[in-house]
Amino acid sequence: MPPLSGRRVTALRIRVEHALRPWRRANPMARRLVLLGSVITLGFAFLAAFPSLVAPYGEAQYRHVVGTNEDPAAAEGRCGDEFECEDIPRRLSPDTGFPFGTTSGRLDVLSRVVWGSRVAFSIVVLSTVLAMGIGVPLGLISGYRGGKLDRVLVTLMDAIYVIPGLLLAIIIAFVLKAYFAPGLLSAAAAVGVVYIPQYYRVIRNHTLSVKQEPFVEAARSLGAKPNTIIGRYVLFNVVQSVPVIFTLNAADAVLTLAGLGFLGYGVPYPQAEWGLDVSRAISDVVSGFWWTAFWPGLAIMLLVTGLTLVGEGLNDIINPLLRVRGFRGRVPRRLEPAPAADTPVEVNLSPAPTQENP
Amino acid sequence: MPGDPISAALGDRLSAEQIEVRRQAAGLNDPILVQYGRYLGGVVQGDLGTPATDPRNVRQIVFDLVPATFELTMFAMVVAVVIGILVGAIGARYRDGPFDVGGRIFGIVIYAAPVFWLGILAQLLFANRWGLLPSGNRISARIVFEDPTGFYLLDGIITGNWALWSGALKHLLLPGMTLGLVISGVFIRMVRVNMLQTLRADYVEAAQARGVANRRVVFAHAFKNALVPVVTIMGLQFALLLGGAILTETTFSWPGLGQALVEFINRRDYAAVQGIVTFFAIMIVIVSLLIDIINGLLDPRVRY
Amino acid sequence: MTSAVSDTASGRPPSNVPVLQVRDLSVAYGTPRGSLGAVDRISFDLYPGESLGVVGESGCGKSSMGRGLMQLLPAGAEVSGSATLAGRELVGASDQQLRRLRGEDIALVFQEPMTRLDPLMKVSAHFVEAIRAHRPGVDKDEARHMAREALAQMGIPRTRADNYPHEFSGGMRQRIMIALGIVLKPAVVIADEPTTALDVIVEAQILDLLDRLRADERVGLILITHNLGIVAETCDRVAVMYAGHIVETGSVEQVFNDPKHPYTRGLMASTISLETTALHSIEGYPPDLVDPPPGCRFHPRCPDAMYQCREKIPEHAEPNPGQHASCYLYPGSGQPDPEEPPGTLAAALHA
């Protein structure tokens, strides 16, 4: 790789500085909360990426080779012949060998929780891809074209939006069950549909405003085709609001998945899904075993907290509306017209049109 | 459509031709939109459909079960609003102080908790371990009572049945508090943000400039104005509350619409599911209309 | 720099006891970059029945001065110096003392009338609240009666007292705000850009009302504005602010006909009138108040700047009786260097 020239490094630094300015101006508490959220979220992301590094057992492993944690199903050879196998004990309270205890189905709760983060992240990613993949293009077309199509889509999306998210997910899962075997994909589809209207709405409204920008009008007057305008000019500008929606929706998606799983419409057992594990633990609670329900639920709460802290925190930092009044921007430097010297300088939230070459 | 109620119920007993005849008779072979249009026509006349797996029609089911769901959600809403207003408003008033930071973290964490998990923990502690409260159902089977309205708290008062009233309240506490606590997270956040804005509003400063006492400025101006959007949020949260009620009712064996919906889904009873979902949608529309009316009463700027 | 200008508008002799005495008043805001001195050691007197115009560009600190007097500043702002209102010190007064003074003795009329009334409260309720905050003994009916009278005085029909704010136009709301300000007959009214948000006809009405108030009620009026025309029409005296300093004071006739400070001259030259043939503007920009230039704050933009201008802030000289300017061009401003002709620094800076 060729070394970066000094000028490019400076330009890059200025850009980074500019991007970091709201972060520096945010109050320390907001920054700490975002950092805390990032640590939690990244922690779970690590578990999701490398579950076997942390989980002592497999996701559905109920027995192990004596002396090791190894799953006999994965080991070469047969139990009894080449090596001794042992069942994981049932309903063992948390102790040294099983820090989170075991379930009535001989599963290690810690391993289930760790593997569950993989399912949670997969669903968040897949459902987001689906929601974006449908919501963003529909929003673009609807906002840019307007007319009858726009009105129909707006009505449809509003109708979807009124239905409680969980209820909608249940209905989708219910319908999908008739056609496909339940699994990651159908669960992701059920969760994803809930968030289509949100992407659609934000993108559509943003498109409507970008459409009026001079650079789009200019491109249109130069005879650019609608598809070129949408793809090149509008998309670049509106796509910037997507990460904000994503950070806010991700937390909600984890909860929706958990609710779906709890009702038995998520991914099928024995895949490790936290909501499903809690629902399977209901009978344990009646007999006083707390650990089978406690840990997966705690994992949901932690991950959702982490994602919320990141999403809300970034939103607050980017949106300076609520900044403390004592902090102000530069003194306005114009003679006329005169805004009151004491009004805080509003930072323009709407993304500046990127000056892409046509 | 695969998995339609006729094949689901009779698929192994009838031949394909017989099923086809019955499908034809039931109108299941018409285009989906036609079927749906026919259904909506019924809804307008108060007919929500007829379940395949229940002798009652959906309207009767809804009438039977809606009091349970409403009693639960209303109770939860009151809990959420009270907690949300107290924690949010005090937090905003003493912004960035320990109470504010604590309240915000509580709001985020409690909203992040799955309602069914909180419910199970509550059952574990309050019902199983300490035996303080019942863990499920609306009322214990031992109590004999009449229920003219179906709202047991109300019925207890109307019929003067103290055992019914206190029993119903005891049963309501765990599910109601659980659902209310979870929803309160939203209110804490919204009340706090609104209050932060109204505390900085121009009219608040103008009142200070006239020498109005601080307490009055905070309560009569900032707080009152912050509450107007909270009513709107209450309306928006109603959908969330219904979603939460499905989970809460399932967790606490609460015999309401949410639990019934889950059961009908498990039985693949499309007609019942469609009817209940339609009813939910109608409720959401009615609530948003109500909220508009209340807003008009609260805010002199709103006129029709 | 105290001067009593004859009270031309009312024809009554001005009282020679100032109702408001400001000495070395400073207002500083905490910013992430450091303390921003929006107002820096300003002093002036205001007499009953007198109207003082405070003019300057946006950001010169004139609004901060008004708010500093009311002690209505955001958290992290600091006021120092002294301001005595009829013998009572405002700077450093307790919250309780301030609460009693605000509205009762000193009132502030804001720039934006549209957002200054609580949208959920009837107009009369605003009056009842303000009156009873200061005079708890007044019962509600009496307070409502006072409200109707104050509104009528400002040209709002008595019958509309029980309407909500959104039912009034901007000009009416500003009159309501003024009525609210004067209902308790304060000694001093600070009007901060009271007509900026309004159209010209309404502006004239409002200014007329303020002027009548000053003449009839002997109110000391501080009119903060960037509009020199308003000052010329309504004020007796004028104070010109630049970058937190008062650079010139004098009677309206003196300052408008014969401005002494180079900044005032630039300001007068940049106003547009019928005689304007070419647009003048002052070169450069106001300074950064977190790190202001040394000496006279205007020197980087001043056509007459001398080397000593960046050494020390000039004292207030009195080139004409009653007219004061903080500039080394005039004797009495410090130690002018007889060797150095005006403009040497400016020439060097712009070379």
pLDDT, position A339: 31
Chain C residues touching residue A331 (CB < 8 angstroms): 36, 58-59, 286, 288-289
Region C70-91 average pLDDT: 89
User: Do A197 and A131 touch, CB atoms closer than 8 A?
Assistant: no
- Most A CBs within 10 A among C39, C58, C264, hence the mutation to make, goes to C58
B69-83, B179-193, B234-248: least confidently modelled range = B234-248
User: Which positions in chain A touch B113 (Cβ < 8 Å)?
Assistant: 297, 300-301, 304
Q: Is B250 in CB contact (< 8 Å) with chain A?
A: yes
Q: What is the pTM of this model?
A: 0.79
Q: Summarize pLDDT for A280-295 with one digit per residue, the tens.
A: 988 888 787 889 999 9
Average of pLDDT values for B69-95? 93
Asked if B201 lies within 8 A of C164 by C-beta distance, the reply is: no
How many Cα atoms within 13 Å fall on the side-chain side of residue C108?
Answer: 27
Chains that touch B (3 or more CB pairs under 8 A): A, C
Contact criterion met (CB < 8 Å) for B112 and A259: no
Is residue A351 predicted with pLDDT exceeding 70? no
pLDDT attached to residue B182:
94
Contacts of B70 (CB under 8 A, 6+ apart): B151
Name the residue among B2, B129, B281 with its Cβ closest to that of A162. B281
The C-alpha atoms of residue A282 and residue A286 are separated, in whole angstroms, by 7
pLDDT of residue B2 exceeding 70, the answer is no
Looking at chain C, which subunits does it touch, using at least 3 CB pairs closer than 8 Å as the criterion? Answer: A, B
Question: With pLDDT > 90 as the criterion, what percentage of chain C qualifies?
Answer: 44
Residue B225 binned pLDDT confidence (cut-offs 50, 70, 90): very high
d(CA C146, CA C152): 10
Q: Pick C134's closest partner by Cβ from B203, B211, B225.
A: B211
B214 touches chain C (CB under 8 A): yes
For the segment C83-108, the average pLDDT, to the nearest whole number, is: 90
Q: Which residue of A has its CA nearest to C226?
A: A338
Q: What are the tens digits of pLDDT across the range B197-221?
A: 999 899 999 999 999 998 999 999 9
Among all residues of chain A, which has the CA nearest to that of C73?
Answer: A326
- Cα torsion B64, B70, B72, B78 to 10°: value is -160
What is the overall mean pLDDT for chain B? 86
The predicted-structure confidence for B133-155, as pLDDT tens digits, reads as follows 888 888 887 888 888 888 888 88
User: pLDDT for C9-21, tens place per residue?
Assistant: 444 445 678 999 9
C129:B208 CB<8 A: no
Residue A1 has pLDDT above 60, yes or no: no
Considering CB atoms only, which of A25, A325, A341 is closest to C63? A341
Going from the N-terminus, what domains does chain C have, and what CATH number goes with each? 21-250 (3.40.50.300), 259-350 (no CATH)
The whole-angstrom distance between C285's CA and the closest CA on chain A is: 6
CB C296 within 8 A of CB C327: yes
Q: In whole angstroms, give the CA distance from residue A331 to residue C61.
A: 10
Interface contact flag, B203 C99, Cβ < 8 Å: no
Residue C316 pLDDT greater than 60, yes or no: yes
Q: Give the model's pLDDT for residue B78.
A: 94
Q: Please report residues of C whose CB lies closer than 8 A to that of B202.
A: 110, 112, 115-116
Compare all CA atoms of chain B with the CA of A284 and give the residue at the minimum distance. B124
Residues of C in contact with A26 (CB under 8 A): none
Q: How far is B199 from chain A (nearest CA, A)?
A: 11
Among B95, B210, B221, most C C-beta atoms within 10 A, so best to mutate, is B210
Contacts for B56-59 with beta carbons within 8 Å, 24 or more apart? B58/B271, B58/B272, B58/B275, B58/B276, B58/B279, B59/B275
Q: Is the pLDDT of residue C8 over 60?
A: no
Query: Which residues on chain A are in Cβ contact (under 8 Å) with B200?
Result: 325
B:202-231 residues touching chain A, CB 8 A cutoff? none
**What is the pLDDT at residue C24?**
93
Q: What is the pLDDT of residue A239?
A: 78
CB C219 within 8 A of CB C189: yes
Task: Name the superfamily (CATH) of residues A26-57+113-322.
Answer: MetI-like (1.10.3720.10)
To the nearest whole Å, the CA of C124 is away from the closest chain B CA by: 14
pLDDT-derived band of residue B6, with 50, 70 and 90 as boundaries? Answer: low
Check CB contact of C113 with chain B, cutoff 8 Å.
no
Is it the case that residue A354 has pLDDT exceeding 60?
A: no
For chain B, say whether C72 makes contact (Cβ under 8 Å): yes
b/e map C85-120, b = 16+ CB within 10 Å? bbeeebbebeeeebbbbbbbbbbbbbbbbebbbbbb
Contact assignment for A297 to B124 by CB distance below 8 Å: no
Identify which of A307, A316, A342 has the alpha carbon closest to the alpha carbon of residue A28: A316
Q: Residue A335: is its pLDDT beyond 60?
A: no
pLDDT grade for A3, boundaries at 50, 70 and 90: low
B210 and C101 within 8 Å at the Cβ level: the answer is: no
Of C70, C112, C129, the CB nearest to B209: C70
φ and ψ at residue C107, rounded to 5 degrees:
-125, 155
Instruction: Enumerate long-range contacts of A30-36, CB under 8 Å, 24 or more apart.
Output: A30/A313, A30/A316, A30/A317, A31/A313, A31/A317, A33/A309, A33/A313, A34/A309, A34/A310, A34/A313, A34/A314, A34/A317, A36/A306, A36/A309
pLDDT at B256: 94
A342 contacts in C (CB within 8 Å)? 63-64, 67
> What span, in angstroms and rounded, lies between the C-alpha atoms of A263 and C187?
71
Rg (CA), chain B: 24
Q: Is C37's pLDDT higher than 50?
A: yes
Minimal Cα distance from A25: which residue of C?
A: C32
Distance between CA atoms of residues B6 and B23, nearest Å: 7
Pick the range with the lowest mean pLDDT from C20-34, C165-179, C322-336. C322-336
* Contact yes or no for C118 and B203 at CB 8 A: yes
Using the Cβ of B303 and the Cβ atoms of chain C, whether some distance falls under 8 Å is answered with no
Both tokens of residue A308?
């919320």
Domain definitions of chain A by residue range: 26-57+113-322
**What's the whole-number mean pLDDT along residues C54-74?**
89
Residue C67's closest chain A neighbor by CA? Answer: A342
Q: Do C102 and B211 touch (CB under 8 A)?
A: yes
Confidence at C114, pLDDT banded by 50, 70, 90: confident
CA distance A142 to chain B (A): 23
Q: State chain C's mean pLDDT as an integer.
A: 86
Q: What is the DSSP letter of B49?
A: -
Kindly report, residue by residue over A163-199, the tens digit of the pLDDT. Answer: 889 999 998 998 888 888 888 999 999 999 999 999 9
CB atoms within 10 A of CB A347: 14
pLDDT surpassing 80 at residue B27:
no
Instruction: Report the relative pairing of strands C188-192 and C106-109 from DSSP bridges.
Output: parallel
Q: Check residue A83 and report its DSSP letter.
A: B
Residues 6+ apart with CB under 8 A from C4: C14, C16, C47, C50
Which amino acid appears at position B71 of this protein? E
Burial class (CB in 10 A: 0-12, 13-18, 19+), C159: exposed
Residue B217: other Cβ atoms inside 10 A: 23
- Examine residue C293 and say whether the peptide bond preceding it is cis (omega within 30 degrees of 0): no
Q: Name every residue in C having a CB less than 8 A away from some CB of A.
A: 29-32, 36, 38, 57-64, 67, 74-77, 111, 192-193, 196, 226, 270, 281-282, 285-286, 288-289
Contacts of A279 in chain B (CB under 8 A): 116
Interface residue C85 vs chain B (CB under 8 A) = no
